[in-house]
Amino acid sequence: MCKHDFPTYRGQMEYVCLSCGARHAGDELLYTCPQCGGVFLLENTRFDELKAHDGAWWRDLFDRRASTRTTALRGIFRYYELLAPILDEEDIVYLGEGITPIIKAAPALRDSVGIPFAYKNDGQNPSASFKDRGMACAFSYLKSLVRRHGWTDVLTVCASTGDTSAAAALYASYVGAPLKSVVLLPHGKVTPQQLSQPLGSGATVLELPGVFDDCMKVVEHLADRYRVALLNSKNSWRILGQESYAYEVAQWYGWDVSSLCVFVPVGNAGNITAVMSGFLKMLELGIITGLPRIFGVQSAHADPVYRYYAAPRAERQWQPVQVSPSVAQAAMIGNPVSFPRVARLAAKFQELGGEKAFQVVQVTEQQIMDAMIRANRRGHIACTQGGECLAGLINARALGLIGPDEHAVLDATAHALKFSGFQDMYFNGSFPPAYEVTPDTSLSNRPELLLDAAKKQSLSPAEYTRAAAEAIVRRLGLVKK
C-alpha cells in the first residue's frame, strides 16, 4: 500500500433522535435532541454509496490497511469509512488506540470453563481501557470543529467512574490548546490508579459526593446550559469510535463471526451500543454474512438492563436501579444513558439474528472476583469488568445458553492494574461486607519478607547476600547443583 493512502470518500453525518426521530446535521456538536431531549445515534446519510463495493472488496481493503504507514489509519480509523468519514487526515488524533490483541484463553482456563474463548485486551489501549477508542473519534471531531470555527477556548467535561476521565484527560492534554479537560468524579468511587491518570495529564479534577449517576446528571445540566464539550458517551461521536471493537473482532476471526458469542460488561451502555452498531453495519455491507450473538453482563449490584430483559416482553418497563457497592466499579451505574440505544439495536439484532442474538446475563460480586482472579492466575490481564465477562460466560454456559459449536470473545475492558485494590482486598480478606465477597483463601497470595532491616544493618554486604540467599534456599527447599 502506498504511503499516502488516506481515503477520498466522504460521507455526511446526521444525528438521529431515537425518541422523536428528528434529524440534525452532524456539523455541530449536539448531545441530546433539542426538540425532545432524546439520545442520538449518528448516521451516515451516504452510507448506501459504500454498497457500490461488495463485502469481499471491503474485507480486502481493511486487510490491506493493516499494513498502512499512514498514521491516521493505524488505529481505529483503519475502518474510516464505517466510522466518521467526514474527518480530514489532519484532524485525526492517534495515540496508539485500537487494534488490541485477542488472546486465546490459557488451555487450563479454557478446559475448566468448557468452551473455547478468548479475551480481547482493551486494557492495552493507551489509557488502559476501551474508552480510548471513543475518545480518539470524539477528539478528532472536536479538532475538526476547532479548525473550522476558529474556537479559542474549549472546555471538555465528563462524569466518570474513572476510565472515561482518564481517556478524556489524556487526549485533551495531547491535543493541547484550545482544549482544556475538566473531569467530574464521584468521590471515593474511583480507584487510586484511575484517579492518578487525569491528575497526571493535568486535567482539572473535581469530585462530588454520591455515585456516577449523580455526577452524570450534573454534567448533563452543565452541557444543556453552558458552553462545554461533553465527552460522555451521550456524545455520539464516542459511540462511532467504539464500533471499532466490533470491526477488529470480525477481522481477527477472518470475518466469520456467526458462531461467536461476544460478551460485554454493561455500565452506561455505550460500549454494548457501539459493538452492536458495528456488527450491524458490517452485515449491511456484506462484510460479514451472519451476526454473532451478543451477551451483555451486569452485576446483581447494578443491573437495570438485565432486569429489563429478564421480564416477559409484554411486561418490560424501563426502571433505573439504586446501585450498591460493586467490584465492577467502572460499570456500577443504575441509570445508563444509552439504554434507549440498546433497546433500539437489540431489537434490530433480534429481528435479524433471532431472539437469542441478544441476551443479558446477571452475575454476583463473588462470581466476578473469583473469575477475575482465576483468569489472571492463568496469564490474562483482566480487570474486574473482564472478570464480570468471564463470570457471564460461565453462567451462560450453566444456563444452557451456549451451544457446543460456539466460541466466545470476552471484553477485558481495562487493564487489571487499574483495579488492583480489589485484588488486594481479595488476597487480604479485607472486603467490606457490602460487596458480599468471601475470598477463596486458596487463591490468595502475598509477599513474604525474608529478612528484616535490622538484620541487614548488622551484616556486611557480602554476608547479607549470603544470608538472603540461604533464607531463599530454606524457603524454596532448593537442591544444590
- Interface ranges with ligand F0G (CB under 6 A): 129, 131, 160-164, 233, 265-271, 330-331, 383, 385, 413-414
Question: What is the smallest separation between the CB atom of 411 and ligand F0G, expressed in angstroms?
Answer: 8
Query: Is residue 441 within 8 Å of 429, Cβ to Cβ?
Result: yes
When the beta carbons of 92 and 342 are compared against ligand F0G, the nearer one is 342
453 grid coordinates:
532491616
Q: State the Cα–Cα distance between residues 81 and 13, nearest whole angstrom.
A: 12
| Pairwise CA distance, residues 363 & 301, whole Å | 9
The residue type found at 381 is I
CB of 303 to ligand F0G, least distance (A): 12
Instruction: With CA atoms as reference, report the closest residue to 40 among 283, 238, 181, 211.
Output: 238
Task: Classify strands 40-44 and 13-17 as parallel, antiparallel or unpaired.
Answer: antiparallel
Q: Which residues contact 180 (CB under 8 A, 6 or more apart)?
A: 153, 154, 155, 156, 172, 204
Least spacing, CB of residue 280 vs ligand F0G, in Å: 17
Nearest distance from C-beta of residue 235 to ligand F0G, angstroms: 12
| Minimum separation from the CB atom of position 122 to ligand F0G (A) | 8
Write down the residue that cell numbers 471493537 correspond to: 245
d(CA 339, CA 365): 23
Question: Is the CB of 266 or the CB of 390 nearer to ligand F0G?
Answer: 266
Give the nearest distance from C-beta 338 to ligand F0G in angstroms: 7
CA distance 325 to 43: 37
Tell me if 385 sits within 8 A of 413, measured CB to CB. yes
- Of 16 and 368, the one with the shorter C-beta distance to ligand F0G is 368
Q: Which of 84, 29, 40 is nearest to 234 (CA)?
A: 40
Contact yes or no for 102/252 (Cβ under 8 A): yes
Q: Find the shortest distance in angstroms from Cβ 400 to ligand F0G.
A: 26
